Amino acid sequence: MTDMSADTISVPAQWRAQHPTTPHLTGLLDYHTLYKESIHFPSTFWAKQARELLSFTQDFHTTSIGSLENGDNAWFVGGGLNACFNCVDRHAIQDPHRAALIYEPDDPADGSRIITYGELLRHVSRLAGVLRGRGVKKGDIVTIYMPMIPEAVMAVLACARIGAVHSVVFAGFSAEALGDRIQDANSAVVITTDEGRRGGRTISTKRVVDEAARECPQVTTVLVYKRTGADIPWMAGRDLWWDEEMKQYPAYTPPEVMDSEDYLFLLYTSGSTGKPKGVFHSTAGYLLGAAVTGKYVFDIHPQDRFFCSGDIGWITGHTYVVYAPLALGCTSIIFEGTPTYPSHTRFWEIVQKHACTHFYGAPTAFRLLKRSIAKENLQNIDTSQLRVLGSVGEPIAPEVWKWYYDFMGNENAVVTDTYWQTETGSHIIAACAGVTPMKPGSATLPCLGIDLAIIDPVTGEELKGNQVEGVLAIKQPWPSMARTIRGNHDRYMDSYFNVYKGYYFTGDAAFRDQDGYYWIRGRVDDVVNVSGHRLSTSEIEGAIIEHPGVAEAAIIGVPDELTGQAINAIVSLKNDQTPETTAKELVIKVRTTIGPFAAPKKVLVVRDLPKTRSGKIVRRILRKALTGENEFGDTSTLADPSVLDEILEAVASS
Residues forming the site for ligand WT7 (CB under 6 A): 269, 315-316, 392-395, 417-422, 443, 506-508, 520, 523, 529, 534
Q: What is the rounded distance in angstroms from the CA atom of residue 438 to the CA atom of residue 103?
A: 32
Q: Is 196 exposed, middle or buried (0-12, 13-18, 19+ CB in 10 A)?
A: buried
CB of 425 to ligand WT7, least distance (A): 9
Helix residue ranges, H only, 4-144: 14-17, 28-40, 42-53, 83-84, 90-94, 117-133
Q: What is the rounded distance in angstroms from the CA atom of residue 76 to the CA atom of residue 43?
A: 10
CB of 540 to ligand WT7, least distance (A): 15
CB of 319 to ligand WT7, least distance (A): 8
* C-beta separation of 187 from 141 below 8 A: yes
The SS3 call for residue 494 is: helix
Nearer to ligand WT7, 206 or 483 (CB): 483
CB of 506 to ligand WT7, least distance (A): 6
Nearer to ligand WT7, 11 or 447 (CB): 447
Nearer to ligand WT7, 455 or 625 (CB): 455
* C-beta separation of 53 from 291 below 8 A: yes
C-alpha distance from residue 82 to each of 70, 100, 159, 285, 322 (Å): 28, 18, 11, 12, 15
Side-chain half-sphere CA neighbours of 138 within 13 A: 9
Q: Which residues contact 183 (CB under 8 A, 6 or more apart)?
A: 215, 216
* C-beta separation of 222 from 240 below 8 A: yes
* C-beta separation of 149 from 279 below 8 A: no
Nearer to ligand WT7, 192 or 531 (CB): 531
Nearer to ligand WT7, 407 or 419 (CB): 419
Nearer to ligand WT7, 353 or 370 (CB): 370
Q: Which helix (H) or strand (E) holds 413?
A: none
Helix residue ranges, H only, 204-345: 205-213, 242-246, 284-296, 315-317, 324-327
Sign of the C-alpha dihedral, residues 556, 559, 564, 566?
Answer: negative
> Could you tell me whether strands 331-335 and 452-455 are parallel, antiparallel, or unpaired per DSSP bridges?
unpaired
CB of 621 to ligand WT7, least distance (A): 24
Q: What is the rounded distance in angstroms from the CA atom of residue 43 to the CA atom of residue 363?
A: 36
Nearer to ligand WT7, 430 or 651 (CB): 430
Q: Which residues contact 270 (CB under 8 A, 6 or more apart)?
A: 276, 277, 527, 534, 535, 536, 539
Nearer to ligand WT7, 35 or 420 (CB): 420
CB of 123 to ligand WT7, least distance (A): 27
Nearer to ligand WT7, 92 or 292 (CB): 292
Q: What is the rounded distance in angstroms from the CA atom of residue 60 to the CA atom of residue 377?
A: 53
Nearer to ligand WT7, 324 or 604 (CB): 324
* C-beta separation of 328 from 357 below 8 A: no
Beta-bridged to residue 99, according to DSSP, are 116
Nearer to ligand WT7, 23 or 393 (CB): 393
CB of 569 to ligand WT7, least distance (A): 21
Sign of the C-alpha dihedral, residues 14, 19, 22, 26?
Answer: negative
CB of 481 to ligand WT7, least distance (A): 13
CB of 493 to ligand WT7, least distance (A): 18
Nearer to ligand WT7, 599 or 618 (CB): 599
CB of 60 to ligand WT7, least distance (A): 27
Q: Which residues contact 29 (CB under 8 A, 6 or more apart)?
A: none
CB of 471 to ligand WT7, least distance (A): 11
Dihedral over alpha carbons 139, 140, 141, 146 (to 10 degrees): -110
> Could you tell me whether strands 74-77 and 62-65 are parallel, antiparallel, or unpaired per DSSP bridges?
antiparallel
Return the amino acid letter for 376: E
Q: How far apart are the first and last CA of the chain?
A: 50
CB of 620 to ligand WT7, least distance (A): 20
Which among 169, 124, 164 has a CA at the least distance from the CA of 142? 164
**Counting every residue, how long is the chain?**
654
Nearer to ligand WT7, 241 or 511 (CB): 511
Return the amino acid letter for 245: E
Nearer to ligand WT7, 309 or 316 (CB): 316
Nearer to ligand WT7, 115 or 288 (CB): 288
Nearer to ligand WT7, 261 or 508 (CB): 508
CB of 508 to ligand WT7, least distance (A): 5
CB of 392 to ligand WT7, least distance (A): 5
CB of 465 to ligand WT7, least distance (A): 22
* C-beta separation of 268 from 278 below 8 A: yes
Beta-bridged to residue 511, according to DSSP, are 469, 519
> Could you tell me whether strands 504-512 and 518-523 are parallel, antiparallel, or unpaired per DSSP bridges?
antiparallel
DSSP 294: H
CB of 267 to ligand WT7, least distance (A): 9
